[in-house]
Structures are given as structure tokens and as C-alpha cells.
Structure 1
Amino acid sequence: MNNHPLELHAPADHQAQVVVLGAGPVGLAIANYLGQAGIKVLVIEKLDKLIDYPRAIGIDDESLRTIQAIGLVDKVLPHTTPWHAMRFLTPKGRCFADIQPMTDEFGWSRRNAFIQPQVDAVLFEGLQRFSSVRTLFSRELVEFSQDNAGVNLQISTPDGSSERVRAQYLVACDGGNSVVRRNLGISFEGKTAPNQWIVVDIASDPLSTPNVYLCCDPQRPYVSAALPHGVRRFEFMVMPGETEQELSKPENMRQLLAKVLPYPDRVELIRSRVYTHNARLAGKFRDGRILLAGDAAHIMPVWQGQGYNSGMRDACNLAWKLALVVKGLAGSRLLDTYEQERRDHAKAMIDLSVLAGHVLAPPKRWQGTVRDGISWLLNYLPPVKRYFLEMRFKPMPQYTGGALVKTAAQIKNSPVGRMFIQPRVLNEEGNEVLLDDVIGNNFAVIAWGCDPTWGLSKAQMEFWTQLGTRFIQLLPCVQLQAAREVHNGVIRLGDSTGRLKEWFGRYPASIALVRPDRFLAGLAIPQTIGQVCDDLSKALSAQPQTVATNTSKVA
């Protein structure tokens, strides 16, 4: 990395409050959220268009909830297959792990198949709703620097000229080979898997059986996945000595497909690509006014479909914080909670993905024999079967510190720091809707039975109203017909499924403070809500930290 100060006195060709580097799903999701908040955003992409070849094929309920928050879920759902089961098979075809979780506590199917370019296109089209968001394609990052007031970028254009960009913050979503991360000198520790995999996508699905199968064949492990719109994906391990060029030859491709199809010549090949699986985590996610997100911050093997979804969790966690800071409604230290909350969970998902890869293709053959024997016995134990069926092995995000309030009495088994549920509710107009559609991209103070504003002072009400907070009273549906006994600004909702009453019944609290990313920031009762709100406001309004000047020329 060479230090070469930018000419800060030169006028900027482009100005924005936030620059998002990279028009992948994470960058597009962040730009959509910030666009909804009225933030001036510039998306910079080095390619001349969105990537059009399929990559990720699994999208989970948390990611769909994020897409719901940016108002695009109805356009994304037609490109998904809900309740997509994942089945691990022995070499002889016996299913020893059937993962088909049927829970929907967050409002959507836990596992869904999708084709990433189609969803990316929806996210990009969503940006056209906002006059404050612009996208520049075919722009290569040449140089960047930061100071106490913002970030400077120099980018090259297709005709070879240079453009200067000035922004308050830079979010680097520029992939696993991130030039921003590398030039900041941020470590990216982890491992690269010794084996590559060739991915083959086929139109007019020649099998057309649902779900995804992972066959643990020691000769050549493979994956067979049904995707929306009649697409079938096969993934085969590339064995030692094989190359992408050799495997792509018609006769070798036919030999691969003969393993899974009776007529390997009768296929409509879309494309094939060879991938290397990495498991790496950035040493830090924030450097002053520059933040890393998605693959720039962490990459993981594909076996649990969590690379895409972990990136979307980054977007959901970071975007609302960045919006508050840019608007001056929160101190810049709030951005430190992004790494504090996201890094440990990203590491847990990396470890899970690596483990799943070892189940599919054990490093040693004897480990596969042990796996098959143990799986045969465990499959007869109902608790173990439920463990896989309900996907309980997946580590759910739970933040123990950051932008939240935990009292000493709430530490053990507290839901604070976990994602709040999203059942359907009945509004006063008699319509059944999802809870998040009532909250919008805002904080929410959700109270069971009582007036959520009762314990708040006038100053507290003004503070939380300024943030756009939704004050919600939950009632049994039959009580919606009674006269209102709450503040005029309170939204009354009926608990049409009973899930909310059941949720509050687990804990010694009746009021939930929910963040814009739907994570529970605190619990209270009417007599303590004022103190909990004060404690949370302090976490959001920390003093801005000093940012040292740093200039990086892209190597």
C-alpha cells in the first residue's frame, strides 16, 4: 500500500452522505434502506452491470425479513421456493439428516431456495424509488482517504479519466478480495479448502424433484438442488489433478452428469463454474469512517447457505445505525456496535459451514464410515431428529453487548439481544397484517395490554418520537372493539395468533423495546419503561470519536 494524499482542495465530481462500494446484494440492501431514510447515497460498481450468473441458492427467513423492511419482499417471493428441505445422503442413498424446519416465528419460511441474480435485480430496481440514491457502473476505485469529516475517493471511468467523490462514510461491500480491506491493512484470517467444486446449472430441470440433496459419496461428493423456475443445480467435488478446463469438456461433463442423470446428454446447460471454498474473517469491521460488510468482512463455505444470509444480516444491522448517525440522531460510536454485534455470529456461521462441509466430504475416509454408523443410530432418537428437523443447530444471533439494555436480573435466559418474533396481527381496520409492516423502519415500544407511553415523560416522548418510534398496544382481538384507553399516538393491534401473549408470558416483563433491525433492545414493565428508555438512548447517543487522517492508494 502506498500513501499518496489526495488533493483535498480539488472539487468533488460526486458528493454523497454515504458511498456504498459494490452493487452486490449487501450493498444494494444497504442502499435501499438508506434511501428509505432519505440519506444521499452513491453506489459505485466496477462492473458494467449486475452479475448475471447464479451464485447463492439459499435465502433464509432473516434475509426475507430484511427485504420486507425495504419494501421489496412481494417482488422477491415469486423467485423463491419456500420450505426448502436439505437432506444429507450416505453413498448408498440413505438419508441420515433431514433438515426441513417448518417454523415461521420471524414471519417467513426458515429455508428457501432462490436464484440470486433475479433477487439482486429486484433490489437494484428498488433503488429507482429514491431520488437520493444514484449508481455508477464501470468505475474502478483508484485511491481513497479519510479525515475527521469524511472520506475521499478517486475512481476511474470507462474512458480512462478520473472522478473525485466526497462522502461522510464509505461502506465497502467489494467482495472477498476487497481492495478497501487490503489497503487498510486489515487481516483476513482463516483457511482455504483444499478441494474445489464445479457448479453446473441446468434449465428445464431433468429431475424436477424438490429440495436439495447432499450426497456424501467418497468417490466424488455431490449436491443436487432444485431451484425456482425449473433450474437444477449440481455441484461436484473437483478431485486432485482435475482442472476446470478439463471438466468443462463435453465428454467429461457427460461423465459427471451420468452420476446423477439417466440421460446426461439430454440437458439444457446454462453454465458451469469452478469455485474454491474459503473460511475467513476480517480482523475488524470498522476503520474510522470506513466499514466492511458482506464478503469483504467474512466469507464461508456454501454448505449451510449462510454466506449470502450473513451478508444480509450485516446490512440489516449496519444500515439503521448509519442512518441515525448521518442524520445526527446518534453518536458515531453507535457504529462500533456493528462489529461488536456481528463479528462473533459471523464466526459461528463460518464454523457451522466448515463442519457441514466435513460431514459432506470428511477429510479422511474412516471419518465417513464413523459418520454413517453414528447417523444410523441417532436417527432413531426423536430428540435428535427434532434437532435436525427444526434446524436447532443453526446458531441464532444473540447480542450480549452493543445497542441494547440488559439488567442484572435479565442476564440469564434473557431474550434481549435476540430477534423479536413477527406473527400476524389484526389492526383496528379489521385487516390481518405482519407485525413489521406496522412498525416500518423504526424503533417500536410494544406493550402487552397496557399503554406503552404511560411511564414516559414528555421529554422522553419527544426523543423517541423524533426517531419515528411506533408505540404499540397489543390486545386480545376481542378487546379491539372496546373504547380506546391509550394515548392518541398509540397503535392498537390484536394478537390474532396468540403468539405474542405466549411470548410475553415467558418473561417477567410486559413491554418490549424493538430496534429497527427487529432485535430486542430491552424489556420493561410500565414502572421501569422510563429508565430503560433512558439507558437505551444513552447507548444511541454516545460522543463521536476522533478519526485520524488516513490515505490509501489502491495497490
Structure 2
Amino acid sequence: MTSTPFDADVLIVGAGPVGLTIANTLGLYGVRVLVIEKLDSIIDYPRAIGIDDESLRTLQAIGLAEQVQAHITPDHAMRFVTAGGRCFADIDPRTDEFGWSRRNAFIQPQIDHLLYRGLARFPHVQVLFSHEVASLAQDEAGVTLQLQGAQGKMRRVRGRWLVACDGGNSFIRRSLDVAFEGRTKPNQWIVIDVRNDPLGTPHIYMHCDPERPYVSAALPHGIRRFEFMVMPGETEEELSKPENMARLMRKVVAEPDKLDYIRKRVYTHNARLAVTFRVQRVLLAGDAAHIMPVWQGQGYNSGLRDASNLAWKLAHVAKGLAGEALLDSYGQERRSHARSMIHLSEVAGDIFSPATRLGSTLRDGLTRILGGFPSVKRYFVEMRFKPMPRYRQGAVLAAAPVPAQGLLARLLERSGGSALGRLLGLMAEKEGSMLHRLVHGRQIDEGTPVGRMFIQPRVLCEDGQTRLLDDLVGLNFAILAWGTDPTHGMSPEARAFWERLGARFITVKPTVQMTHRDDERPGVIAIGDLGNRLKAWFAQQPNSVVFMRPDRFVAATCTPQQVDDTTRALAAVMAMPLVSLTAQPGKAQHPELAEAAA
């Protein structure tokens, strides 16, 4: 084992949104971080334009939500329109179960700069611009990088762990020989961003014009994005000529010569997924791990899901609070959901721009028929088609899924590369659907909240103020109980375990009971349930105690008398030592928890 000193606990290659979010999170945990970026500054041109409620919750967790709100447009609908002007799909969800609007428009460089400036809070987090990774090597103790500076000068840095956030063409992933499986769409698109919005209408419009599909998207601060399909034989150079650009823009504006252009850029849609997200001490995140078409705006958001999932685990391992095995749960949890989001994006692209005119005609006819069914409209409007993260293995206590079986399972396997196969696969992933049951069988754990994100309502605090729930929890575990003290049946050993991790103990009660203080216990936070949203959530569950992870996912639920057993089982799956918490003589063991602990 080498004794070479470490420059940081964690090295992060890539100062994009994923790398910067991980760096901010690790900074809050007190972990030493070095971010390495080959460019000389943060990218300042527009890229992603959609940020969802999960990502805003992640930014809230690192203390940047207030600044971010100045640069988003909440409740941003996406409307699919036929060539004749008929809106056949209106995606406009208005739910806020995670504390934020489901769909929001934003301009990525503005948020990226807020993330970068957020690092100034942490003297133990440094950013090294204008340095490109030339080589990497890892051993049982850490990772060593050889960096090449702007003037060709070489520099060596070493960290205990490395997170590769260096994009779809990741040098780190290629150096590790990690396969990047998937496909590249044959057609390209040209993106045109303009200032002083020439249309001014809100929302995003997906114009399904068989002659040339195009997109018109309103963005914050008077910016609008247009995207046009590049037709066979066309090139970026040709399309960028003034006369050709005017021809394109005349489809959407009357006077294209008066537009204030920001940039024009051609890009290709890719759908690819790394076969593994971890190679020893190197972890892949964001585009280095997966890339997907833009049609549902999930590339950026999937990257921030990676950051939220990985950062707390990496922090606990780096600080010696958990064993390295906890990091295996990152790929177990994130890879399958990234695949689902890739499928969703591909299906949306196939609906938007079918490969043939016949496909467009069939789509228009079918959507006209389905539009007469209110339940179908709600399915799209409320984004019920979006596969939400659901972890059945990893750092959770959840039952294993039933293996795929039957005729539809074989159909999915045979048609997985076709549009039909992707559509069937996407529908089958939606739990509770008839197709899901036919393919996978009835899941024995369908109703459990374990492995899902916990809700975030506004709550009444002990000081009389109202706050979002996460603001009381911080980047910590939380043990919440409805109507009772979650520590009442907790042994001293279990409580010491959770206190060592900085966990918050929370009692949820009706707001009218907040003036009653006789039931207060030291170290337990009481919150009032504004609007009865937490009561409604607990009413749907068989258990009244919830163990919430720092990334806001439910790790386990139990009854008040199962708190010690659940703590023991969670400590096992999270590779966190709990030597002193052993079964008490004569105490009943809960078989499902004992099995998970084993």
C-alpha cells in the first residue's frame, strides 16, 4: 500500500452541474474535495432547459434553492402539436408532493454558476481549471491522476476516491474500458437560442411537422430556444448561412433578420448506458454514466439524481462512518432508473418525429381517438408515464421483485430494440399498471413506500414558523413517526448509532396539538402537519415510523416496537458498523428484518 499523501479525499473530474453538485454536498459534509476541469471556466452557453422537482429538492439540500428560484419558470408545460395545429398531448402537472413544481424551465449556465459560487463556502473544496487528465492509476488505497495544464506542464494529484463527471465522451470511462452500450439516432438537430423572445408565449411546443419537426421553448429572462430537425444532406455550415437560417426561422417568426441570436449548434441524440457505474475506487456519474435524447429533459435531471444518490454515500465512506460496500448500492439503485429514463426519452422522440409519414398519420389518428378519454388525458397531463425512482435493492430494506415471466416478457425481449418494444417496456415499468402485472406478475411489495422518495410538505415548526420539511432535516438521516415519539422504544445503543450519524428524530402531529408541550422529549423535533398531507401519506401505509435517507428516499418503515430491529437491519445493508446493538434475550425478532440484517 502506498504512503503517498492525499491531495483530497475525493477527486471530481468535470465542473459541470453533476460534479459541482457533488462537490457542494461533500463540502457541507466537511469532506476535502478537488474538482478538476479541462476548460478555463464554467461553460457559459445554454444547454439543458428543463429542471424538475427532484433536482430542485437536491439544490435545496445544498442550500442554493433561494438563489435558483430567480432563474426558473415554474409549472412549465410541454405541448405536442400536430402539423394542423391540434394539441394531442399536454404535459402540465400541477402537483408539488416533493415541495416544488414538477416541471420548470431554466437556463443551465445560470444555475451552474450558482453551483460554482456555492463552493466558495468551503475552504476544503478547491477547483482546478485548465487541467486535463492525461492518465489515471488506482490501488487499494486511492487514485492517482496525471494532469496536463494549459502550458503543457504536468501535475500529479492523488485522492482516496474519484468521481468521473467528464461527459458523454468521458476519458475516465474509456480509460477504464467500461462499455457504453446503446445507440445513436441517425438524424441531427440544430439548436438556436435567441434573446428578446420574438414570440413571448409561455411553455414548450413540440411541433410534429412531418416536413421538418421543430421545437419552440420559452425560457426565463426573455430567451427562447428553437430546435429544427436537420434533414438528410444538410450540414451545420449550410444551415448557418443567413439565407438558410432565415428560411428555417420563417416557420416561426415573421422577420427572422431582426432576431438577436445567442448561438446556433447542431447536435445528435444518443441513448447510451455504462455497463457499470463503479470500478474499484472510481465512480461514474452524469453523462459519463448515461446519456439520453432531450425529449423529456431528463439528461440534466438524471445527472442530479446521480449526485444526490452518490454524494451522501461517498461522504459517509470518506468520513469512516460506513464501509466501502455502501458505494455498491449507487450503481444498484441508479443504473436501472437511468435505463428507464432513456427508454422514456426514446419513446417521446418516436412520438414526436416518427420515421415515416405513415407513422405520423397513425399517431395523429390514434391520439385523436384517445383524446376523448379523460383518463388518458390525465395520464399525460399529470406525467403519470414518468418512471419515478424506485429502489428494490441497495441501501434499503425492500422485498425482491418477482422475475419477469409469461408471453409479454418474451415479447419485450424480442422487440426491445423497436419503438414498440420501448413503448411496451416503458408501460410495463409503470407499477400498478395491467401491463406491469402481466409482464412481471403481482409485486408483493407494490404498496410499500420503501425505496421511493418521501414527500416534502410545508410544516409548522416549534417556533411558530412554516418551513419545507427538508429544511429541518438538513443533509442527515431522519426518523419520523406519526403521532408518537420515534425514540420511545429505541435502545440506548440504537439511539447512539443514529446520533453518531447526525440523524433527526421527528414527531409529526396535527397542527392544533402543537401548543401541547407535555409530551416533549429531549432531542426530538415536533412538527405540525399543515394541510394534513403527512397524515394522508401515513394513512396509506401499514407502519407509522419512517427511516429517511439523506437523499430523501425511504430506507425502511416499521412499527414503533420494531425500531431496534430495523436499525440493525439498516446498519447491515448500509455497511455501517453496529457492534453494540445486539438482540436482547427474550426479545421477539422480526423475520424480515433479521433476514435483511443477515
Q: TM-score, normalised by structure 1?
A: 0.95
Q: What does residue range 436-455 of structure 1 map to in structure 2 within 5 Å?
A: 436-455=470-489
Q: CA deviation at 1:410?
A: 7.2
Deviations 1:475-507 (A, max 9, x none): 001111012314210000000121000000001
User: What's the RMSD between the two structures over aligned residues?
Assistant: 1.4
Q: Is the 8 A contact 2:314 2:327 kept in 1?
A: yes
The equivalent residue for 1:257 is 249
Distance 1:224 1:143 in 2: 42
Q: CA deviation at 1:263?
A: 1.6
Q: What does residue range 156-235 of structure 1 map to in structure 2 within 5 Å?
A: 156-235=148-227
Q: Percent of counterpart pairs with the same letter?
A: 60
The equivalent residue for 1:349 is 341
Distance 1:135 1:497 in 2: 44
| Matched residue count | 535
Deviations 1:253-311 (A, max 9, x none): 00000011122122111110001110000010000000000000000000000000000
**5+ long unaligned stretches in structure 2:** 401-442, 578-598
The equivalent residue for 2:537 is 503
Which secondary structure does the structure 2 equivalent of 1:165 belong to?
Answer: strand
Q: Is the 8 A contact 2:56 2:65 kept in 1?
A: yes
Distance 1:407 1:393 in 2: 24
The equivalent residue for 1:151 is 143
Q: What does residue range 307-346 of structure 1 map to in structure 2 within 5 Å?
A: 307-346=299-338
The equivalent residue for 2:563 is 529
Q: CA deviation at 1:79?
A: 0.5
The equivalent residue for 1:297 is 289
**5+ long unaligned stretches in structure 1:** 1-6, 544-555
Which secondary structure does the structure 1 equivalent of 2:88 belong to?
Answer: strand
**Partner amino acid for 1:113?**
A
Q: Is the 8 A contact 1:212 1:223 kept in 2?
A: yes
The equivalent residue for 2:8 is 16
2:457 corresponds to 1:423: yes
2:516 corresponds to 1:466: no
2:510 corresponds to 1:518: no
**Partner amino acid for 1:363?**
A
**Partner amino acid for 1:414?**
T
2:528 corresponds to 1:494: yes
2:447 corresponds to 1:413: yes
Deviates more, 1:330-339 or 1:150-159: 150-159
The equivalent residue for 1:546 is none
Q: Is the 8 A contact 2:13 2:165 kept in 1?
A: yes
The equivalent residue for 1:553 is none
Could you say if the C-alpha distance between residues 395 and 321 of structure 1 is closer, same or farther in structure 2, counting changes exceeding 3 Å? Answer: same
Match of 1:123 among 94, 112, 115: 115
Distance 1:475 1:118 in 2: 40
Could you say if the C-alpha distance between residues 8 and 405 of structure 1 is closer, same or farther in structure 2, counting changes exceeding 3 Å? Answer: closer
**Partner amino acid for 1:218?**
P
Distance 2:76 2:517 in 1: 45
Q: Is the 8 A contact 1:332 1:542 kept in 2?
A: no
The equivalent residue for 2:383 is 391
**Partner amino acid for 1:501?**
K
Which secondary structure does the structure 2 equivalent of 1:417 belong to?
Answer: coil
Distance 2:20 2:563 in 1: 36
The equivalent residue for 2:432 is none
Distance 1:466 1:253 in 2: 61
Distance 1:42 1:275 in 2: 31
Distance 1:221 1:363 in 2: 11
Distance 1:201 1:122 in 2: 21
2:274 corresponds to 1:282: yes
Ranked by relative contact order (alpha carbons within 8 Å, sequence separation 6 or more), the top structure is 1
Could you say if the C-alpha distance between residues 435 and 542 of structure 1 is closer, same or farther in structure 2, counting changes exceeding 3 Å? Answer: closer
Distance 1:8 1:249 in 2: 58
Could you say if the C-alpha distance between residues 8 and 474 of structure 1 is closer, same or farther in structure 2, counting changes exceeding 3 Å? Answer: closer
Distance 1:92 1:484 in 2: 67
2:134 corresponds to 1:100: no
2:364 corresponds to 1:372: yes
Distance 1:386 1:51 in 2: 38
Distance 1:521 1:410 in 2: 17
Q: Is the 8 A contact 1:44 1:136 kept in 2?
A: yes
Which secondary structure does the structure 1 equivalent of 2:258 belong to?
Answer: coil
Q: What does residue range 33-72 of structure 1 map to in structure 2 within 5 Å?
A: 33-72=25-64
**Partner amino acid for 2:529?**
D
Q: TM-score, normalised by structure 2?
A: 0.88
Which secondary structure does the structure 2 equivalent of 1:215 belong to?
Answer: strand
Q: Is the 8 A contact 2:392 2:399 kept in 1?
A: no
Q: Is the 8 A contact 1:333 1:542 kept in 2?
A: no
Q: What does residue range 67-82 of structure 1 map to in structure 2 within 5 Å?
A: 67-82=59-74
Q: Is the 8 A contact 2:321 2:576 kept in 1?
A: no
Deviations 1:104-128 (A, max 9, x none): 0000000000000000000000000
Deviates more, 1:292-301 or 1:527-536: 527-536
**Partner amino acid for 1:71?**
G
Match of 1:479 among 496, 513, 520: 513
Could you say if the C-alpha distance between residues 448 and 537 of structure 1 is closer, same or farther in structure 2, counting changes exceeding 3 Å? Answer: same
The equivalent residue for 1:456 is 490
Which secondary structure does the structure 2 equivalent of 1:456 belong to?
Answer: coil
Which secondary structure does the structure 2 equivalent of 1:265 belong to?
Answer: helix
**Partner amino acid for 1:525?**
T
Q: CA deviation at 1:159?
A: 2.0
Q: CA deviation at 1:412?
A: 3.4
